[in-house]
Amino acid sequence: MSPLTKRPKTKILVDGGDPQETQKIKELLGFVDGQTTNPSLIAKNPHIMQLIASGHKLTEQEELDEYKKIVRTISPLVGDAGVSIEVFADLNTRAEQMFQQGQAMFSWIPNAYVKYPCTAQGLRAAEMSVAAGIRVNMTLCFSQQQAAAVYAATKGTKAPAYVSPFIGR
């Protein structure tokens, strides 16, 4: 299949953690505007799967180092929508912890967006990030109320803020 001859107005973002997959999609379409990642997608990266299959248990630092390497490989393949890098968070993760992770992840690449969950703590981390000049993408957004909360949390940003909605889930 040949690349698209006319670029759509819609932004095309790949959702994955494998730079080779990103490259294939870029070759197929002729472009990729951006990419979203998350820890579970990074865990499905062929290199990571190979490490795990060999019996290697990654430490937290090794997980972060591998995540950073993968994101740095993806970064030059995508356009101005950048790479959204999701923080490691669960229901007990506080906004300050997410924000600290986000600050570090934002420094990995020049076109980074930090992806936070659309929870009360994630929204607070987004507010802190916007105030610090960090671009954000909010994920796990299931409702209009959550989308409105994202707007309220990010309305001070000068950069685009993204919402990754989950429709029909």
115 is catalytic: yes
Kindly name the residue from 9, 11, 57, 115 that is annotated as catalytic: 115
Position 1 scores a pLDDT of 53
Residue 144 near residue 166 (C-beta atoms within 8 A): no
**How many alpha carbons lie under 13 Å from residue 133 in its C-beta half-sphere?**
3
What does the pLDDT read at residue 7? 79
Counting Cβ atoms within 10 Å, is residue 64 exposed (0-12), middle (13-18) or buried (19+)?
middle
- pLDDT by position in tens, the chain (length 169): 566 677 788 888 999 999 999 999 999 999 999 999 999 999 999 999 999 999 999 999 999 999 999 999 999 999 888 999 999 999 999 999 999 999 999 999 999 999 999 999 999 999 999 999 999 999 998 989 999 999 999 998 888 899 988 776 5
Give me the domains of the chain, ranges plus CATH numbers.
13-165 (3.20.20.70)
pLDDT at 50: 95
Q: Which pLDDT belongs to residue 156?
A: 86
3-state secondary structure the chain: CCCCCCCCCCCCEEECCCHHHHHHHHHHHCCCCEEECCHHHHHCCHHHHHHHHCCCCCCHHHHHHHHHHHHHHHHHHCCCCEEEEECCCCCCCCHHHHHHHHHHHHCCCCCEEEEEECCHHHHHHHHHHHHCCCCEEEEEECCHHHHHHHHHHHCCCCCCCEEEECCCC
8 Å CB contact between 32 and 14: yes
pLDDT at residue number 123? 97
Query: What per-residue confidence (pLDDT) applies to 9?
Result: 83
pTM of the predicted structure, to 2 decimals: 0.90
pLDDT on residue 111: 96
